[in-house]
Structure 1
Amino acid sequence: MRDSDGEGAGSGLPRSHPSNLPLPAPHSDPNLQFSGTDDDFSNRHSSSSANGGASPGYYSDYPSSFSGECSPYNMSPWNQTMASPWSHHSEASGMGGAPAMAPGTSLIASLVREEGHIYSLAAKTDTLYTGSDSKNIRVWRKQKDSGGFKSSSGLVKAIVISGERIFTGHQDGKIRVWKGAPKNGPHKRVGSLPRLRDFLRGSLNPSNYVEVRKNRTALWIRHSDAVSCLSPTDGTQGLLYSGSWDRTFKVWRIGDSKCLESVVAHDDNVNAIVAAFDGLVFTGSADGTVKVWRRELQGKGTKHVAVQTLLKQEHAVNALAVSAVAPVLYCGSSDGLVNFWEGERHLVHGGVLRGHKKAVFCLAAAGALVLSGSADNTIFVWRRDGGVHSCLSVLTGHTEPIRCLAIVEDNKDNAAVPIDAVDNSFASGSSTRWIVYSGSLDKSIKVWRVSEDAPDALLHGPGAGDAPQMFDRYPGDPFGASSSSFR
């Protein structure tokens, strides 16, 4: 069965790269650090779950070729036989010509190594980590190649940073834990989730096994299919969430690598997970739903309870992001739309951002901005101002679908600083510029400088022809939001 993230898509097409950049063969880089003996629990070859079905479609006016019988590929964003309902739109721009970038926004670098399609990114200060289907995690410092490290756990589908640790989620269901040495030294693998001793101890008790597919069982503490997404909480909570194609998400305590809970969350692949405000966790799935979970104290531990279903549709949900400065959740899906909801404890549908002509695969939020990357090879830069969204820029340059985004603030010395350290700058209205990294199936990472300030957005509100648009409601919207303003 074809990978629902499209491994192999886009291969063989022309690519541009700097002429002075060496192109080593995959896995032959002497700067790569090997993780040593891999404590494989099994030699299972991961595959997508094949028994998930689509939820009933709320948007009856959306064209769809999805079928639950063909899940997950037909539910996959990479099945581009389905045209987006917005595919009649012309190239996004304010004047109907070439896509536009706001003043202060520009492409500043392109990072290329012939190691395969780029599927995951994570950035901290001036360091960027990139994951690809070569199984390598490449390290870039100040936009220069700084070696990397390698695991035998398969395609790197997710990377997140929590404190001094880097967590990587892989195609074969494993989560690896890495730590960098002082003074930008080499990275070292310091563990895995679950720990080997926990796996061996748990395997002795038959009650620790759960059914993951017909006639197949697995330990509840371990993902039985690809780890598609990771999300850490803040340092005070010390938790890591992992979502998987096995339809579950798991909760890990970072301090001792213990699996605290496993939740069967969806009827198909879990594609996105975000730990957010007020103890809430959001999940998005190939089954077309977005769900809200709340962590509640029960006895000596905690348990996650489903409190709301925000979306039910036939189109796969691929990406989620939470605003850095307001309780707003964004959702990107295979119909090319970005829906958003507002509210702290009970979220209300605020509207939809439209402009992409194909599936939205990734989202990133920072300050007042949210960025969406798509199979149409573009990145849209949206700004939220008083509850109204406007499109500031459309970033073009990639030649294949954009799979992942990462963002940090660009300070005056042109050195990136963590987002969490600068959130307060928006309350004072100070001007902010961001460094945005985009990873693509064209095997490149592009580095953009994005301005949050723009004198003239491409569009404010509906009614600008073929430009990117935001609607409070759209045809078939079942949510009935009366306003996109946050209260």
Structure 2
Amino acid sequence: MMRNSPAAGDITANSYNDHANIPRAPKPTNKFTNTNDHHPKEMVDELSFRLRNMSDNSPHPQLEDIDSPTEDDMSLKDAYRSRMLFGASPSTQMSPLTRSPWASYVERPATDLCDPNSNYTGLIASLVREEGNIYSLAATGDLLYTGSDSKNIRVWKNHKEFSWFKSNSGLVKAIVIAGEKIFTGHQDGKIRVWKVSGKNPSVHKRIGTLPTFKAVVNKSLKPKNYTEVRGSHKNIWIKHFDAISSLSLSEDQSLLYSGSWDTTVKVWSVSDFKCLESITAHEDAINSVVSGFDGMMFSGSADGTVKAWRREYEGKRTKHFFIDNLLKQECAVTSLIINPSGTAVYAGSSDGLLHFWEREKLLSSGERLTGHKLAVLCLAAAESLVFSGSVDATICVWRREKGGEHKCLCTLSGHTGPVKCLAVEDGSRCRWTVYSGSLDKSVKIWRVSVEPADGERQQRARSSSGQIFSRMREKSKQVTSDEVAAVYLIAGFNWDPFAQPIKLGGKAGSGSQFK
């Protein structure tokens, strides 16, 4: 039965602390943890000797040397001291400070954080304006668009506010970019279209609203264009009568899909803004819709299902046909994404699980990943990586390995509220920039750097391990923390002894260091 309340799994600023209504995920397992119970004794002895005799002139500050700690810094310090004194807990229960085996808090120069060739993984910057919670964002080129519940859409460039424009429609729930057009989905059920001014790149002009006023008037003249909605009310089929929760573009960017809490998916022409089709897809609010390979479209709903649809053309008309239910469960489906290669479909749920289906298996068998304690609200993908943002205020970074297995590479921590939206900027040489928007009213920018595939990484480790140990035996040379971390990884250790909070002049954030 369709509800009049917000969709299950859709978290608002007034409700995100009320976790009682959100099913908790099963206890996380260390299925993907890279551990090794057998450590070479000689390596351990040499590392211990070296660490005990580190010079007082080490460039890595002790915890007490950090000036003006914030509350987050202090909590991280306490956690750090606890690990130093008592070691890591054997429990698999996640905590707010849970990090991947390679996670480290490293204080680094600003030049290193901004260097695109740096292998640093972690928080780069935090963009904060005390005006609203962040519900949507989209990145294109060097610009980042953010939508909030403040009626404003802000544009950021080089980590600074570049411009803004007002939508006059309340909460901005979705943003997608198709060439020079920017589409925004709103709480009032309308889609607004914007374009950058040719004279001034900081000025954005509204060039349309979907459905258009002309289309609404024309459809209103014929009774056959009305459909029954809640109760005895009727509505024109080209209009959403509830909030738009998701927007997605077809592969060729000729079609725009809009999913709504009114249980329908509507298909629009990007070129002339016409509504081509309306699909009553689910029995409850639609939380996410995504279009991808082979004319396929997927919809996820608060009714607990993920449905697959195929696009076909009947003359000049576009029509979508239902193919299959990929998922049926009690928990709401809150987010969907297709990886860039089109080989897998991912779905996040309100129970904290991440489900996926592989294209080569004809989407017939779904598997799941466990990494979050609370609902997964958003997903993003880049090459073999998948990013999941959750009500637990963390972002898990997953990598799809050969054979379809997935490994959790790291957990990004720094938000103080649910992570509501994610975007990834295409990277190079295994480096990406990740943007996350949260109900803590901030947008955080992360650098994620990963090692190549296992085979290549092992080969590089074998070739470099001899050089690192050779340097360690030279007492006249100071060993850097990066080298020690690399040796720890080779030796089978899963903890960086030089873990430190990142100091960026704001709240602390965490990530992982891959070398």
TM-score (norm 1): 0.72
Q: What do the CA deviations read for 1:359-394 (whole angstroms, capped 9, x no partner)?
A: 000000011100000011100000112122111110
1:79 deviation in Å?
5.8
Q: Distance in 1 between matches of 2:158 and 2:272?
A: 32
Aligned residues: 375
Equivalent in the alignment of 1:200: 217
Matched, 1:145 2:150: no
Q: What do the CA deviations read for 1:3-32 (whole angstroms, capped 9, x no partner)?
A: 443333379x9xxxxxxxxxxxxxxxxxxx
Q: Distance in 2 between matches of 1:210 and 1:10?
A: 33
Equivalent in the alignment of 2:435: 437
| Contact 1:266–1:285 (Cα < 8 Å) also in 2 | yes
What is the aligned counterpart of 1:218 among 235, 253, 262? 235
The correspondence of residues 336-355 of structure 1 with structure 2, limited to 5 A, is 336-343=352-359, 346-355=362-371
1:302 deviation in Å?
2.1
| CA pair 447-95 structure 1, distance change in 2 beyond 3 A | closer
Higher relative CO (Cα under 8 Å, sequence separation at least 6) belongs to: 2
Q: Which has the higher helix share?
A: 2
Equivalent in the alignment of 1:391: 408
Equivalent in the alignment of 1:304: 320
SS in structure 1 of the partner of residue 340 of structure 2: coil
Could you tell me which amino acid in structure 1 is paired with residue 321 of structure 2?
Answer: V
1:143 deviation in Å?
1.5
Q: What do the CA deviations read for 1:397-440 (whole angstroms, capped 9, x no partner)?
A: 000110000011245xxxxxxxxxxxxxxxxxxx2211100000
Matched, 1:134 2:132: no
SS in structure 1 of the partner of residue 165 of structure 2: strand
Q: Distance in 1 between matches of 2:422 and 2:279?
A: 27
Could you tell me which amino acid in structure 2 is paired with residue 207 of structure 1?
Answer: K
Q: Distance in 2 between matches of 1:94 and 1:8?
A: 28
Q: Distance in 2 between matches of 1:367 and 1:82?
A: 31
Q: Distance in 2 between matches of 1:367 and 1:380?
A: 16
| Contact 1:368–1:452 (Cα < 8 Å) also in 2 | no
1:205 deviation in Å?
1.0
Equivalent in the alignment of 2:85: none
What is the aligned counterpart of 2:123 among 89, 107, 117? 107
Matched, 1:90 2:88: no
Q: Distance in 2 between matches of 1:248 and 1:141?
A: 35
Equivalent in the alignment of 1:448: 446
The correspondence of residues 416-427 of structure 1 with structure 2, limited to 5 A, is none
Q: What do the CA deviations read for 1:161-201 (whole angstroms, capped 9, x no partner)?
A: 01100000000101000001235230000001111000011
SS in structure 2 of the partner of residue 348 of structure 1: coil
1:348 deviation in Å?
2.6
Q: Distance in 2 between matches of 1:120 and 1:79?
A: 25
| CA pair 233-212 structure 1, distance change in 2 beyond 3 A | same
Equivalent in the alignment of 2:481: none
| CA pair 304-321 structure 1, distance change in 2 beyond 3 A | same
Q: Distance in 1 between matches of 2:104 and 2:448?
A: 18
1:350 deviation in Å?
4.5
Q: Distance in 1 between matches of 2:229 and 2:352?
A: 31
Q: What do the CA deviations read for 1:423-466 (whole angstroms, capped 9, x no partner)?
A: xxxxxxxx22111000000000000011132669xxxxxxxxxx
1:115 deviation in Å?
1.6
1:94 deviation in Å?
4.8
Equivalent in the alignment of 2:295: 279
The correspondence of residues 150-161 of structure 1 with structure 2, limited to 5 A, is 150-161=166-177
SS in structure 1 of the partner of residue 229 of structure 2: strand
SS in structure 2 of the partner of residue 213 of structure 1: coil
Unmatched tracts of structure 1, length 5 or more: 14-76, 412-430, 457-466, 468-487
| Contact 1:278–1:344 (Cα < 8 Å) also in 2 | no
| CA pair 391-154 structure 1, distance change in 2 beyond 3 A | same
1:204 deviation in Å?
1.2
Q: Which has the higher strand share?
A: 1
Q: Distance in 2 between matches of 1:227 and 1:180?
A: 23
Q: Distance in 2 between matches of 1:94 and 1:158?
A: 30
What is the aligned counterpart of 1:359 among 375, 383, 403? 375
| CA pair 152-345 structure 1, distance change in 2 beyond 3 A | farther
Could you tell me which amino acid in structure 1 is paired with residue 185 of structure 2?
Answer: G
Q: Distance in 1 between matches of 2:315 and 2:421?
A: 39
CA root-mean-square deviation: 2.7
Equivalent in the alignment of 2:193: 177
SS in structure 2 of the partner of residue 290 of structure 1: strand
| Contact 1:136–1:150 (Cα < 8 Å) also in 2 | yes
| Contact 1:6–1:78 (Cα < 8 Å) also in 2 | no
Q: Distance in 1 between matches of 2:193 and 2:19?
A: 29
Equivalent in the alignment of 1:16: none
Rg comparison, structure with higher value: 2
| Contact 2:102–2:410 (Cα < 8 Å) also in 1 | no
What is the aligned counterpart of 2:271 among 239, 251, 255? 255
SS in structure 1 of the partner of residue 219 of structure 2: helix
